[in-house]
Homo-oligomer: A and B are copies of this chain.
Amino acid sequence: MLDTTPATAVTQVLTDLNTALSKADPAAAAALFETEGCWRDLASLTWNIKTMEGPDEIAAMLTAQMAQIKPRGFTITPGELAEDAGSFQQAWIDFETETGRGHGHIRIRDGKIWTLLTTLKELKGHEERKGTTRPMGAEHGVEQGRKSWAETRAEETAQLGYDVQPEVLIIGGGQGGIALGARLRQLGVPAIIIEKNERPGDSWRNRYKSLCLHDPVWYDHLPYLPFPANWPVFAPKDKIGDWLEMYTRVMELNYWSSTTATSAKYDEVKKEWQVHVTRDGKDVVLRPKQLVLATGMSAKANWPKFPGQDIFKGEQQHSSTHPGPDAYKGKKVVVIGSNNSSHDICAALWEAGADVTMVQRSSTHIVRSEPLMKHGLGSLYSEEAVAAGVTTDKADLIFASIPYRLLPSFQKPIYDTIKAEDAAFYAALAKAGFMLDWGDDGTGLFMKYLRRGSGYYIDVGASQLIIDGKIKLKSGSDVDHLTETSVVLKDGTELPADLVVYATGYGSMNGWAADLISQEVADKVGKCWGLGSDTTKDPGPWEGEQRNMWKPTAQEGLWFHGGNLHQSRHYSQFLALQLKARQVGLPTPVYGRGAVHHLK
């Protein structure tokens, strides 16, 4: 291939792909891939979030889908250049299907496709109105009895949920619900977001006062309205809260705050939900076609059970309800757990003058923020990336273009580098008794996040307090029981306590479905999150995508949405398009929905 330019190599493969597809020849299309080649699709060919691994899976998918979907016109994206990346060539690509337009990314090695990403960009005839097609706002010309924008909006607000039923009900008004709500609004899908708190952003405001985002600003943008250039790298929780509140307002979302859902039931005949919600103290029955649980993959608190919790005379809190350190100056606090929340809470308590002990029950992955930003995110999400033309949209797609099967091999070298660079730091932590790990296979933080959503701390200072003994550490032993005044560990250590904080994480999101709908439906859809990697807290078999997230589940009309700001932004696009397609009755043949192997 030495005499071939990247553009020629990519164009040749895309031409062959178009030919195979036009001849309805899945085998020929699959033969364009390497043996290890992967095709990742976000809702464009599979109406699912799905990775096909190897030619056989690719041929099977095409055999099932191509007649209805009619994928075609694969081409290098106009205005973009194919690149030689050393061992492979890569390019941004466009294509279309019978009902939509797609965008994606391709990597080619030795003339064969190594990775192919296809994503649904928009539905034909249902494009978002922006740029040249943005609304006029003022309707020029005059018309008797015409309503103003404010009157029209007030009428919509008064009617939706009462006289007019929403197509989609989103339960949970954090960043996930808000980002999805914004996309649905732009697509013209009537939606209501319900949120138990008083104001948008309260899910951040109500957390412990020292909380700041651990992800940097470039990773955190919401759709449509990026943070301004003066926005801090790591935004404080209240500032994010204010942003979410204002975003909800200017994006004109139908956001019902101080509202809780009490029950939901799917009517298989009418193909709609009946959801009871309590708004301002009054029961309202909503009948949406689609129900999205955006209650947070970190919101269903795991409250561990220990003997003696009933007789303990001090306070007990889950990390999600810990109010912050102000009331605990001079008090003895025991924090159970050793992940992000535990570290943040311990540090804030120490700052406020509490006597704080962290109980580390199992090993934890620690990465300091600076090297993580530099090595882990810098090439995609940083000021340097922006300067190099890697917009947030491009960064999201580049990250998405690496199939989860391959991602560990991309991630491990990053953490090997960090481990070497920060060797003295890790030695000091180990010397303090802290049990460290790098994930079962040494692939670090992102893989832990994707597999189990836990097991790490992005260090912004607490580790030094542990090294210095300012946060006391008890590691290697679990809680045995509580007495009236203390926490007693299995090794016999007794830790006197005025307050016990359970920083013990969160359960699977299908637990929300059990609470709201039924245990039967929760079991039918099964566990959310995790890749099936057969590593700690992510049991196999291999799924290749995060279970149940942003895609059809075993329960018709039930969807899960969540994750960090990056995922809320990126995946809300595909979830919104799936919901739009159903609203307008486009065919959405779902390919390869995973079987349920785990209930929680």
Using a CB–CB cutoff of 8 Å, the interface residues on chain A facing chain B are 128-132, 134-138, 140-146, 148-151, 153, 186, 205, 209-210, 212-213, 217, 224-225, 228-239, 242-243, 245-247, 249-250, 347, 350-353, 369-370, 383, 386, 460-462, 464-465
Let me know if B243 and A462 touch, CB within 8 A. no
Say how far A379's CB is from chain B's closest CB, in angstroms.
16
Tell which of B134, B233, B370 touches A233, judged by Cβ atoms closer than 8 Å: B134
Let me know if A150 and B233 touch, CB within 8 A. no
Tell which of B232, B245, B350 touches A134, judged by Cβ atoms closer than 8 Å: B232
* List of B residues within 8 angstroms of A141 by Cβ: 460-461, 464
* List of B residues within 8 angstroms of A132 by Cβ: 383
Q: A132-B383, A134-B229 are in contact. Are A464 and B142 (CB under 8 A)?
A: yes
Tell which of B129, B137, B143, B210 touches A234, judged by Cβ atoms closer than 8 Å: B137
Let me know if A134 and B217 touch, CB within 8 A. yes
Most chain B beta-carbon contacts within 10 A, residue among A146, A153, A236, A462:
A236
Bound Cα distance from A210 to B132, whole angstroms: 24
* List of B residues within 8 angstroms of A462 by Cβ: 142
* List of B residues within 8 angstroms of A246 by Cβ: 245-247, 249-250
Let me know if B236 and A138 touch, CB within 8 A. yes
Let me know if B142 and A350 touch, CB within 8 A. yes
Bound Cα distance from A347 to B353, whole angstroms: 67
* List of B residues within 8 angstroms of A128 by Cβ: 230
Bound Cα distance from A462 to B140, whole angstroms: 9
Say how far A197's CB is from chain B's closest CB, in angstroms.
16
Let me know if B230 and A144 touch, CB within 8 A. no
Q: A140-B369, A142-B462 are in contact. Are A242 and B233 (CB under 8 A)?
A: no
* List of B residues within 8 angstroms of A143 by Cβ: 351
Let me know if A149 and B239 touch, CB within 8 A. yes
Copy number in this complex? 2
Let me know if B238 and A249 touch, CB within 8 A. no
* List of B residues within 8 angstroms of A217 by Cβ: 134, 137
Say how far A223's CB is from chain B's closest CB, in angstroms.
9
Say how far A241's CB is from chain B's closest CB, in angstroms.
9
* List of B residues within 8 angstroms of A370 by Cβ: 140
9 A–B contact pairs at CB < 8 A?
A136-B233, A137-B233, A138-B460, A141-B460, A142-B462, A144-B353, A145-B352, A150-B205, A243-B250
Let me know if A148 and B224 touch, CB within 8 A. no
Tell which of B225, B233, B242 touches A135, judged by Cβ atoms closer than 8 Å: B233
Q: A149-B236, A239-B149, A246-B246 are in contact. Are A231 and B134 (CB under 8 A)?
A: yes
Question: Beyond the given A129-B230, A138-B234, could you list 18 further A-B residue pairs with CB under 8 A, ordered by the A residue number?
Answer: A130-B228, A130-B229, A135-B232, A136-B234, A137-B212, A137-B213, A137-B234, A137-B235, A138-B233, A140-B370, A141-B460, A142-B350, A142-B461, A142-B462, A144-B352, A148-B236, A148-B238, A225-B228
Q: A136-B233, A140-B461, A353-B144 are in contact. Are A151 and B186 (CB under 8 A)?
A: no
Let me know if B236 and A228 touch, CB within 8 A. no
Bound Cα distance from A260 to B251, whole angstroms: 31
Q: A137-B213, A224-B230 are in contact. Are A238 and B144 (CB under 8 A)?
A: no
In the complex, the 8 A-B pairs of residues with the closest C-beta atoms, listed nearest first = A137-B232, A138-B212, A149-B236, A246-B246, A138-B234, A130-B229, A150-B238, A137-B234
Let me know if A131 and B229 touch, CB within 8 A. yes
Bound Cα distance from A224 to B370, whole angstroms: 27
Say how far A154's CB is from chain B's closest CB, in angstroms.
10
Let me know if A242 and B236 touch, CB within 8 A. no
* List of B residues within 8 angstroms of A146 by Cβ: 210, 351
* List of B residues within 8 angstroms of A212 by Cβ: 137-138, 149
Let me know if A209 and B150 touch, CB within 8 A. yes
Say how far A48's CB is from chain B's closest CB, in angstroms.
28
* List of B residues within 8 angstroms of A232 by Cβ: 134-138
Say how far A221's CB is from chain B's closest CB, in angstroms.
11
Say how far A425's CB is from chain B's closest CB, in angstroms.
13
Bound Cα distance from A145 to B140, whole angstroms: 58
Bound Cα distance from A553 to B160, whole angstroms: 54
Bound Cα distance from A246 to B237, whole angstroms: 17
Kindly report which residue of chain B lies nearest to residue A148, judged by CB atoms: B209
* List of B residues within 8 angstroms of A353 by Cβ: 144-145
